[in-house]
Amino acid sequence: MLPLFVQTVLAILGVLCFGYAIKRVIQQKKLDCLLFLLGGLVLVFAEYFSWIDGYWLSVIKFMGLNIIFATSLNLVNGYMGEFSCGHAGFMCVGAYVGGLISIILFTKNKMMGAPLLPPELAPLLFPFVLAAAGGVASLFGLLVALPSFKTRDDYLAIITIAANYIIISLIINIDFVGGPRGLTGMRSVVRAMESVAEIPWMMIWMLLGVMITTMMLHRLVNSTLGKGIPAVCQNEVAAEIMSVNTKRVKLVAFMVSAGIAGVAGALYAHMFSSIYANSFGIMKSTEAMVMVYLGGMGSLSGSVLAAVLFTLLIELLRFALPAMSDVAHMLPFVPDSFNISQEWKWVIIPLILILLMQFRPEGLLGNRELTDVFPKLKRLVSFGKQD
């Protein structure tokens, strides 16, 4: 059983979510209603998530992480039509900022000594850690957005890749954050959360993060400012003639995209006992691009669907590759030294992407949403103009 204090706090938060969901029903905001209803259910029934098998808990957490990461990149590469190839750099910033704040606040560390706050407060203050990580990452997004005012396409891709490498190099050369040895200690924060109540806090915050970021992006792309994002994508000059402040649109899109990637990074940091800057290189950015192009450029629900499929594909290959290696060794012409390791997934996944570009270049959903493909879903949720 959870402590009475934790049960009370979760119940209050759950009731607030249910109350806001009812308010959005009255205002006919279907997506907000659905997301806050799900958020309330997550909080009220948080105790029962501990019954889920540990492996599937990890899969769900990675699924949520990929959803947040992919939807953040889709705002720039999909809706705005830019070509950012260094998105993992913002995730790296969020991971290190979130990890450092958690370590300093809630654990005994070499930098500050004793924790600044009681570890028991970690579950309740963790959203502020995520917000801080997203805020710092959005400032880095601002720095990348400034050159985008005069560059597009391939030139912007080069700038974002350079920014990614600059961020990684800076972090590796800062001893304060562990340098090349990486940053450790986040697992202690998670253990501190679980000492308050034995529930999978990281999965709770991951699910709530998915709901909040999805709603935020949905609201942004359907707002007055957000309407200018596809206008910039189609014809930036024409958008300026029609009084669209293209610089402001780009600035907001890059900062929001980077900020959400930073939140994903902070969640990523607390899923592992240590993080390394080199883990956020071009391969990590490529993962996000694969999910965006798989789901469809400019499709929010497409990115969500692609992130789920991508995560399941990675897990499937984890078990399928050793089996493929065993089958290969049964063939007489295959040498014993031949081995299909887990690295082969980076051969198979790009091949799948190449086939997708050949036979369905627009992705699974193109620029449509699931509600366009399945109109009956509009009765439950609207990603389009009806909301």
Reference 163, options 55, 253, 80, 254; nearest CA is: 254
Residue 364 covered by a domain: yes
pLDDT reading at 161 higher than 80? yes
pLDDT reading at 28 higher than 50? no
- From residue 171, alpha-carbon distances to 76, 95, 134, 286, 301 in Å are 25, 11, 17, 21, 34
> 158 phi and psi, to 5 degrees?
-65, -40
Residue 89 covered by a domain: yes
- Distance of alpha carbon 341 from alpha carbon 268, whole angstroms: 24
Based on the domain organization, do 175 and 317 belong to the same domain?
yes
53: domain CATH number is 1.10.3470
Residue 387 covered by a domain: no
Residue 77 covered by a domain: yes
- Distance of alpha carbon 197 from alpha carbon 257, whole angstroms: 33
Q: What is the mean pLDDT of residues 5-13?
A: 47
Residue 385 covered by a domain: no
Q: Give the pLDDT band of residue 331 (cuts 50, 70, 90).
A: confident
**Prediction pTM value:** 0.84
> Quick check: helix, strand or coil at residue 113?
strand
Based on the domain organization, do 33 and 145 belong to the same domain?
no
Reference 20, options 45, 47, 38; nearest CA is: 38
Based on the domain organization, do 270 and 182 belong to the same domain?
yes
pLDDT of residue 122: 79
Token pair of 157, please? Answer: 């891709």
User: 214 versus 9: which is more confidently predicted?
Assistant: 214
Q: Give the pLDDT band of residue 127 (cuts 50, 70, 90).
A: confident
Q: Which of 98-102, 271-275, 324-328 has the lowest mean pLDDT?
A: 324-328
To 10 degrees, the CA torsion angle through 338, 343, 348, 352? -170
pLDDT in tens, 41-89: 555 455 555 566 677 778 888 999 999 999 999 999 988 888 888 999 9
- From residue 71, alpha-carbon distances to 5, 87, 202, 327, 364 in Å are 35, 12, 20, 38, 15
Scan for tokens 């089996």, then name that residue: 323
- Distance of alpha carbon 364 from alpha carbon 361, whole angstroms: 9
pLDDT reading at 27 higher than 60? no
pLDDT of residue 386: 45
Domain that holds residue 295: 45-379
Token pair of 121, please? Answer: 């407060």
CA dihedral over 24, 384, 43, 127, signed as positive or negative: negative
Query: What rounded mean pLDDT belongs to the chain?
Result: 79
Based on the domain organization, do 202 and 334 belong to the same domain?
yes
pLDDT of residue 135: 94
Q: Contact, 33 vs 380, CB < 8 A? A: no
Q: What is the mean pLDDT of residues 187-216?
A: 78
Token pair of 248, please? Answer: 């402001």
pLDDT reading at 181 higher than 50? yes
Please give the share of the chain, as a percent, with pLDDT higher than 70: 80
Q: Give the pLDDT band of residue 205 (cuts 50, 70, 90).
A: confident
pLDDT in tens, 128-155: 999 999 999 999 999 888 877 777 667 8
Based on the domain organization, do 2 and 49 belong to the same domain?
no
pLDDT in tens, 245-274: 888 888 899 999 999 999 999 999 988 878
